[in-house]
Amino acid sequence: MIKFFLIIFYTLSLLIQSSVQAAPKNKETYEYLDLFGQIFDRVRSSYVEEVTDEELIEKAIDGMLTGLDPHSGYMNEEVWEEMQMDTQGKFGGLGIEITMEEGFVKVISPIDDTPAHKAGVIAGDYIIQIDDTPVFGLTLNEAVELMRGEKGDPITITISREGKEPFDITIIRDFINIQSVKNEIYDDIGYLRITSFTEQTEDNLIKSIKKIKNELNQKDKGYILDLRSNPGGLLSQAVKVTDIFLKRGEIVSTRGRDKKNIIRYRAKNGDMIDNKPLVVIINNGSASASEIVAGALQDHRRAIVIGTQSFGKGSVQTIIPFKKSNSKGVAGIRLTTARYYTPSGISIQGKGIVPDIIVEQGTFESFNYKRYSESDLKDSLDKKENNKTNQDADKETISQKEERLAKDFQLQRALDLIRGLSLYQESFEK
Mind listing the pLDDT tens digit for each residue in 212-236?
Answer: 999 999 899 999 999 998 989 899 9
CB atoms within 10 A of CB 310: 28
DSSP state, 137?
T
Determine which helix (DSSP H) or strand (DSSP E) holds 170, and give its type and residue range: strand 167-172
Q: Name the architecture of domain 181-361.
A: Alpha-Beta Complex (3.90)
Residue-wise pLDDT for 51-102, tens only, equals 999 899 989 999 999 889 888 988 887 777 766 655 555 555 788 878 888 7
Dihedral of CA atoms 241, 243, 244, 246 in degrees, nearest 10, equals 140
Catalytic residue annotation: 288, 299, 313
102: left (phi over 0), alpha (psi -120 to 50) or beta: left
pLDDT of residue 88: 53
pLDDT of 146 > 80? The answer is yes
Q: What is the CATH number of domain 90-176?
A: 2.30.42.10
- DSSP assignment of 65-118 equals HHTT-TT-EEE-HHHHHHHHHHHTTEEEE--EEEEEETTEEEEEEEPTTSHHHH
What is the mean predicted confidence (pLDDT) over 131-144?
A: 87
d(Cα 141, Cα 99) in Å, to the nearest integer? Answer: 10
**Residue 372 banded pLDDT, cuts 50, 70, 90:** very low
With CA atoms as reference, report the closest residue to 43 among 63, 17, 70. Answer: 63
What's the alpha-carbon Rg for the chain, to the nearest Å? 25
C-alpha closest to that of 214 among 243, 241, 242, 185: 185
The span from the CA of 119 to the CA of 320, in Å, is: 34
Domain residue ranges of the chain, discontinuous segments joined by +: 2-51, 90-176, 181-361
CA distances from 78 to 92, 233, 239 (A): 13, 20, 29
Question: What amino acid is encoded at 294 in this protein?
Answer: A
Q: Which of 33-42, 119-128, 171-180, 201-210 has the lowest mean pLDDT?
A: 171-180
**What is the overall mean pLDDT for the chain?**
82
Q: What is the DSSP string of 219-272?
A: ---EEEEE-TT---B-HHHHHHHHHTT-SSSEEEEEE-SSTT-EEEEE--S--T
Q: Where are the beta strands (DSSP E) in 328-372?
A: 330-341, 357-358
Residue 371 pLDDT class (50, 70, 90 cuts): very low
Residue 306 phi, psi (nearest 5): -125, 165
Which is more confidently placed, 384 or 223? 223
Report the Cα–Cα distance between both ends of the chain, in Å, rounded.
85
